[in-house]
Each structure stands twice: as C-alpha cells, then as structure tokens.
Amino acid sequence: MTDMDDFTLKLTNELRVSPLYNELKSKAKELVCRTSGDVSQLKMNIHEGLAKSGWKRSLQNEVYCRLLERVDAASQNRVHIKEPLAYIRRAQASWEKRILKSLNSMCTEMSVPLARKRPIPEQKEIRSNWNELGVDEPDLSLFRPVYGPKDFLDMLTLLKNPNLASEQLCNFWGLLKLPFPVKSLQQLRQEFCEMTPRWSQVGVDGGSHTDIFDAESVGLGQKVMAADNIALCQQYSRRGIPPSLRMQLWLQNVGLRITDSDRLRYDQLKMHVFKHDLLVDKLIYKDVKLTATNDDQYFVFEDFIHQVLLLFSRDTEVLKHFARSSATPPKSYIRVAPLCFVFEDPVTLYYFFREIYTRHFFRLHTISSHPQGIVSLSVLFESLLQACQPQLFYHLRQMGAQPLRIAFKWLMRAFSGYLASDQLLLLWDRVLAYNSLEPLAVLAVAIFAYRRVNLLETSSYAAVEAVMADTTTIRVIPLLQAILLTAYRTLNRIRQREKSSGILNKS
C-alpha cells in the first residue's frame, strides 16, 4: 500500500465518523425513496441528486479542510507529536510546570479548590444572571494573573539551541538567538502579492469616491458565498471582505456550519457552567474586568466575552486539540472581543472562536518550533526589521530597547486591543485568507518603519515606549502595502525590460 492509499484510507475512515457522513447518508436515503425507474441508474441518480442539493460541495469542503490539517500535521515529528526538538520540549515542560505551580500555590494560599460543585442556590443565581454576568462584582483582589506577555517573552529569551556554538551567537542582533528557518522579505512579497497596490483592497479603496469598487466587491462576494467553495472563499478574502459579508464568508472560510447538535452541545456546556465552579473562572472574570471592560471598543460585549470563555474552559473538544499542542487557554479573552462585532448569535460566536483559536491563535502562546508559532513569528519579526530597517534596529539595540520587547505583546494578542476594531478585522481577513499568522509579523515591522523618524530621535527605552504607545490610529493595509511596494515596482521594471527587449513580441 502506497502512502497515498494509506492517506486515502485514513481520510475515508475519519469521514465515516464525522457528522457530515450521517447527513449525507440521510440525504441519500431520501433520494433512494424518491427515485423510480431503472435500478442500474440508482448510483448515478444519487450522485446527481447530492450534487444538485449542495451536499457534494459540502463533502469537497470537508475534504479540503482535512487536507489542510494533514499538511500541517505532516510537518510535525511522528514520534513527538507536540514538538520535534528536544530542547523546545524541555522548555515546554518547564513552562507548563511553572503555570501549574502558580495555580496550585494560589489555591493553597487562598484555600480555594481548583473545581467545586455549586450549591443549588448558586446554580439558580448564575442561571438567572447568564445574560448579565458583568453585573456581579465579586472581590477578586487576591487573585493574581498567571502570566503576561513580559513573563512569556522572558521565558523565550532563555531558549538556546545546544548545537549552536557560543561564538555563533554574536551573529544574532535580536533577543531570540535561534537559527529558525523563516521566510525572507522577498518570499513574503511573493506570497502576499495580492496585497500589493496593484490590486484594489477593501479598507483602502473604499469610500464615496470608489463606490464602483465597493459595489463590485460586494457583488463578487455574494457569488463566492453562493459557490460555497472554501478555496475560492480564501482567494477572494485576500483582498479583504466587505463588512456586510464578513460573517458569512468567515464561516465559509473555516468550513463551519452550525447544526442542531452544535446548539444542543452549547446548552450542555452551559449546564456544566451552572453546576461547577472552576478556579479559572475567577481568572477569566478578573482579566475581562481589568481589560475589555475598560476598553471603549469592547466594554459593551462584556457579557458575551464572559459566556464564551466560561464555555470554552469546559469544552472537551478543546482538550482533544491539546493532544497535539502544549498551549494553554489563559489570556484568550482579548481575541473574543473583536469577534463580537461580526457575530450576533452567541452560539455562532462561540463555535467560530473555538475554531479560530484551535486553528491559529493557540500558537501565539505556545513554545514551539512550528513555522506559525510565536517563537518563529518573533524570529521572523526581528529578521524582517533588520532587513528593512537595519539603522533603526541597530539604534534601538544600542540603547537597550530591543524592538521585540515592544512588538511581542502585539504578536501574542494578534493586535487585538492595539488597533481600531475595523482595522483589526481587516488584518484578520488576511490571516484567515492566507491561513497564516505571518501578516502579524509583517505589520509589526511596518509600524516600526512607519515611525522610524521619531524612533531614531529617542535616547531611552521609555521614550521608545512613548512613541509606540498608541497604535489605534494605524491604517493596516497601507502599511502592509508599504512593505510590499518594492516588490511591486520591481515586477513592473522587469515587465518593462521584457517589452523593451522585444521578448513579448518574439513570443
């Protein structure tokens, strides 16, 4: 049996136990009951019926999603599912031990259990206040955060490849002295070529003076929605998604369909919240109160954020995901808040958050050598900034203001809380479209380049922090295009040379 045969067999077996298989089987039975005539044509009639009713496209989308998962899994070591590099695995174990120790010591000091069953009166109270969770004001002053971006970055700076000679460390200007293979600026320009100024973009070309582009973009987006093709949806999304279509296209992008069984599962998770109280509930509540509640953009979604995270902390489907990852759920609230601008239905909001978290965002607080992990993104950021702005990087390094110390919190939180909501959603459009977190690192470099003049005039770390403190006025797409503009001009020059040399005429 070849590798392809083995892969096909595994994929078939996985699909047989998926909810889609039962739905296809039920639809096929309906078609059989309706079919009359030659039995020999039964198979062909069923195929045609499934295609006309859209089930064939649903199956193709499911296979496409599974293929993407397989490609990602193939890059991982088969023996060590979570992490192939031994020194990274040791760092993972050390970090997880530190988190568990912090939680256990908090329980001991405060005489609070990790989990307990709620008394009946308390169950009734939280049930009645489910849509007003932000009204409750318990005293959480003694509860402390498990970790923050600074703690995590300090842990990453301790990473060292034992196979790297000490004299080779001087070749690294940045904080992370790791020889991780990351893409060059030219490779990123080729990969994100749809974001160059050559193509019109949602979020740049919109406005009263470009109503034609807006109308065309919405019209094309509606055709993409009707086609129900994930690959086509991702290609369309690379130039941004009109706000009126974002919800439907984001769901289509990740292949998410909310079924009756999903809604039933959602209600079951709510019952788990009503019945059991967890220590992490207190940490979630305090995080939301200290951050999202005080944010002018997100305070109105406080109840939704509470609901999503309480359910998320009890979802066993998430635990299955962590069999392949060492990530832990804390500090997820900041990525829920922007989604509230897109999804009104709390059930859809929850399942989309779970999908985007287990697909992308968990990597932003995981110690891993994965190309999309926070370590690789940090190395990519430092590499790109050195390539684009070597003078600026050297200036900041000399005064002890390593750029990564400023940018790390942006990367770890996917810029949530640091950009205006409309700009953040445009950035996440590209993350989903390219199925990549690399646009985060590119944007971080673009922000430093944008504020280069002011940064070169600074003489202390505090001054650098002051210059970079407010990024809410940043326009995401123009800055990304500024990094990609050189490649666009280079391509035009090549085309002009081809024309002038007569290559096109000869062909």
Q: What is the pLDDT of residues 183-193, one digit of tens each?
A: 998 899 889 98
Provide CB contacts within 8 A for 300, sequence distance 6+: none
Return the percentage of the chain with pLDDT > 90, whole number.
45
**C-alpha to C-alpha distance for 165 and 442, rounded to whole angstroms:** 30
Q: What are phi and psi of 275, to 5 degrees?
A: -85, -30
The mean pLDDT value for 168-193 works out to: 84
So what's the pLDDT on residue 491?
Answer: 42
Reported as a pLDDT band with limits 50, 70 and 90, residue 501 is: low
So what's the pLDDT on residue 497?
Answer: 52
Q: What is the dihedral of CA 321, 322, 324, 326, to 10 degrees?
A: 150
Q: Taking the alpha carbons of 389, 392, 398, 403 in that order, is the dihedral positive or negative?
A: negative
Q: Which has the higher per-residue pLDDT, 361 or 58?
A: 361
Q: Which of 54-63, 140-149, 202-211, 357-366 has the lowest mean pLDDT?
A: 202-211
Q: Which has the higher per-residue pLDDT, 50 or 288?
A: 288
Strand partners, 278: 115
Reported as a pLDDT band with limits 50, 70 and 90, residue 324 is: low
So what's the pLDDT on residue 329?
Answer: 47
Block residue for tokens 């949806």: 233
Reported as a pLDDT band with limits 50, 70 and 90, residue 348 is: very high
What is the CB neighbour count within 10 angstroms for residue 481?
20
Reported as a pLDDT band with limits 50, 70 and 90, residue 495 is: very low
Q: Which of 61-70, 322-331, 358-367 has the lowest mean pLDDT?
A: 322-331
Computed over every residue of the chain, the mean pLDDT equals 83
Q: What DSSP element (H or E) covers 356?
A: helix 346-359
**C-alpha to C-alpha distance for 115 and 281, rounded to whole angstroms:** 10
CA distances from 288 to 38, 199, 302, 334, 441 (A): 64, 39, 7, 8, 26
Return the percentage of the chain with pLDDT > 70, whole number.
85
Could you tell me the two tokens for 345?
């239905």
Q: What is the CA radius of gyration of the chain?
A: 25
Nearest to 235 by CA among 218, 214, 221: 221
Could you tell me the two tokens for 43?
């198979």
Q: Is the model's pLDDT at 378 over the cut of 90?
A: yes
Q: Is the model's pLDDT at 232 over the cut of 50?
A: yes
So what's the pLDDT on residue 320?
Answer: 75
Cβ density class 162-182: b for 16+ within 10 Å, e for less: eeeeeeeeeebbbbbbbebeb
**C-alpha to C-alpha distance for 312 and 288, rounded to whole angstroms:** 15
Q: What are phi and psi of 217, to 5 degrees?
A: -65, -45
Nearest to 71 by CA among 436, 468, 485, 451: 436
3-class secondary structure, 30: helix
**C-alpha to C-alpha distance for 141 and 53, rounded to whole angstroms:** 56
Q: Is the model's pLDDT at 444 over the cut of 50?
A: yes
Q: What are phi and psi of 277, to 5 degrees?
A: -110, 130
3-class secondary structure, 237: helix
CA distances from 166 to 163, 194, 246 (A): 9, 41, 50
So what's the pLDDT on residue 67?
Answer: 74
Q: Is the model's pLDDT at 207 over the cut of 60?
A: no
Instruction: Encode pLDDT of 10-47 as tens digits.
Output: 777 777 777 777 777 777 777 777 766 666 667 777 77
Q: Is the model's pLDDT at 86 over the cut of 70?
A: yes
Confidence (pTM): 0.83
Q: Which of 87-96, 312-321, 385-394 has the lowest mean pLDDT?
A: 312-321
Beta-strand pair 115-117/276-278:
antiparallel
355 within 8 A of 254, measured Cβ to Cβ: yes
290 within 8 A of 334, measured Cβ to Cβ: no
